[in-house]
Amino acid sequence: MYLRLIPLCLLSLAGHLSASDTLLQPPPTLPKPVASFGAAACGDRFYVYGGHAGRPHAYNRDDVNGSLYSWAPGETEWTLSAEGEPSQGASLVTDGKVLIRIGGMAARNAKEDRQELWSSNTATVYPVTASGLGAAQSLANLPERRSSHDSVIVGRTLYVFGGWKLSGGNRKAGGDWHETYLTLDLADPGAEWNSYPQPFVKRAIAVASAKGKIYVLGGMDEDGETSAETHVLDLGTNEWSKGPDLPKHKLGGFGFATVAIGERIFASGAEGALLELTGKEWKPVSQLGQPRFFHRFLHRGGSHLLAMGGVTPGHSKAEPEWVAVPAETASAPWPKFQGPRGNGTTPETGWLQGWPEAGEPETAWKAELGVGLSGFAVAGDRVYSAGNDGKDKDTLWCLDLDSGDVIWKRETDALTKIHKMPIVPYGPAATPTVVEGTVYHISRLGHLLALDAATGEERWARHFVDDLKGVLPVYGYASSAAVSGDHLFLDIGQEEAGSNDGSTVCLNRHDGSVVWQQGEGQAGYATPRVTQLGDRDVLVLFKGEALELRDPVNGDLLARHATTTRDFCNCATPLIFDESTLIISHTGKDATRALKWDGSELNQQWSLPGHGLLFHSGTPLDGHVLAFNDESRNDKILQLIDHRTGHVAWQSDELPKGNIVVSDDGLALVLGRNGELVAAQMSKEGVKVLRRMQVLGGRTYVQPVLANGRVLCRNNEGATVCLDLRG
């Protein structure tokens, strides 16, 4: 029995251009060219399991194999990594640590004998190690034999959809069709399969997951009719709906392949067009060089995906092929504090077209979330934020991005007034962080929750003070959870130097266990981040008494720059330039300044006396820092500061002081503390105001969020407005 899984969902990771993209080396032909097989991408390798190597519909034990092959770009041939149960129509999935083969069909007959086809009820786990695959282990048997199905891992749950059960006859005799889908909790070593109704009875389907949903494409029904339908399972509500049909073709969606790349879904069938699910339709975006069906798509980052195996319309086995993935559309998620890059910038562009020159954009919805400074995290079509009801209760909200409807909420007892400075708003101040199906959130008192992003179900919880022996800051905890790989980094504070309970903590993000706990000193209010400095990854923390650089692997201190201010209010998250320069700022005597990391020390490059940041962190723009001056409470001057010299390139008083988001085309959104929203063109030459509107009343310290064509704005009392800029 397989004992433990740590899901990473590497199949859905999109990244920068990889070596395989640069070289585009054609993958070698498989030793046994196959169709109807399992495949997965894990780490830097591609894996193919089993399949059918013979003529269509001619099944025998020589042509249905159980070989598990692997290949990585740069290699000249496929490696036989393991031999397992012969399987056609099996699925192979990965969580980044292991491969799992589920079900499949084996032919027990010789070539010249009557077909004897049996579906399998077994599942096998192959641990992935640096030196290859570990010994195969058994997973819980399926409740019934199943083949011609498809599977996907979401979070810690394995899902299996569709298929049929063959019990010794031939293909024409058919089998028993499955009317249910299965789930297995991979976090529970003793878990058994659960069965749920599915609104279709089909085999030869394709399955992928994105945006908190699972998409089941195409297939063939029990009457032998091919299907072009898309069925969608919402993991937040466990309700099924119909998605857009696949384009018309004589084979419908029979034998399709599909893959999720980030939040994008791609698919193709026998016609050869690469389709992308865009809104309410499947849109052709590219073309395979060799049309095929009963194939698989694999992606491990970069601008190409790998089309593996399958059958061509002429019934020959298709060769492996790289397929170009079109560039990301203008929309982008906002999964954490300060956005996808952690610095207030976004790749989302083209949004100004949804804001009329002589009018206002459409208001999609409004909501009341409660008192607090918690910003928004947007993942797929879900919005996450938190607030306090003013009666000592926090609520973590999950809302529908389109409608504002509450998908789920999680309430926690939490004091409203935890400090004695009303000028600093009460309520939660951390922004939720959403990573691979889990939402992490920190309350003002130090409650850390890890919840299923789709359902709100608790995965684990810790308390900064009670469990980790942290020290509550003067104004409560305000930094957000920082995630890198399997780790969660937290600034919890520590009062006594030399204590065994360190001020900075690294947790395993899957179960909340402590990986390391190091350092001393008060917690700050800035959010930690792991970034590249020089030739290594570095954990950057603006703690209450210093900027610290630590090794994210073991917590060892690499460098420290002492600086503090009243009540340890180091609040602005540092900005990083050129993988070596850090901009830090507070409203004390040390002001805004640049520090250079040389691999062993931090050396100050410049300072800007009289300039400081408190309720915003500044935003990078063309090698400069775009920032208001919080040192002067009544000053609304916006400045553009050269990160290399500290020289002020320009300043403007045309905008309300507030928080800024900058998109890659130089357009910016400014949400003023007076509730005014302004769109402006920003450059090294100056600022040009393009649109402005009053979106909120009251005081507003929360950063606006631009995600997936919407703008989310919130004031300190929790009044929230969602604007639709999709045009």
Q: How far apart are CA 120 and CA 110, in angstroms?
A: 19
The predicted pLDDT at position 20 comes to 34
CA 513 to CA 92: how far, in whole Å? Answer: 29
What is the structure's pLDDT at 496? 63
pLDDT tens-digit series, residues 298-353: 998 778 899 999 999 888 999 999 998 876 555 678 999 999 999 999 988 889 98
CA-closest candidate to residue 87, choices 111, 53, 43? 53
Which tokens sit at 217? 């494409």
Question: Max Cα separation, the chain?
Answer: 89
How far is residue 450 from each of residues 439, 463, 498, 503, 512, measured CA to CA in Å? 6, 12, 30, 21, 8
Determine the pLDDT at residue 497: 54
d(CA 683, CA 688): 9
pLDDT of residue 500: 60
Q: Which parts of the chain register pLDDT below 50?
A: 1-23
SS3 string, 688-713, reads EEEEEEECCCCCCCCCCEEECCEEEE
Give the Cα separation of 627 and 682 in Å (integer).
12
> E strands, 509-645, where?
514-518, 529-533, 536-542, 546-550, 557-562, 575-577, 581-584, 592-597, 602-608, 619-621, 624-628, 638-642
CB 115 within 8 A of CB 59: yes
Nearest to 387 by CA among 158, 702, 607, 79: 702
- pTM passes above 0.85: no
CA–CA separation, 491 and 505 (whole Å): 7
CA distance 287 to 598: 48
Helix (H) or strand (E) holding 679: strand 676-682
Name the residue among 160, 151, 156, 169 with its Cα closest to residue 105: 169
Q: What is the mean pLDDT of the chain?
A: 89
What domains are there in the chain, each with its CATH number?
10-324 (2.120.10.80), 345-724 (2.130.10.10)
DSSP conformation letters of 325-339: PPPP-S---B-STTT
Residue entry with tokens 């008060």: 522
Please provide the DSSP assignment of 116-150 as one string. -EEEB--EEEEEEETTEE---EEPPPPSS-BBS-E
Kindly state the helix (H) or strand (E) to which residue 440 belongs, with its residue range: strand 438-442
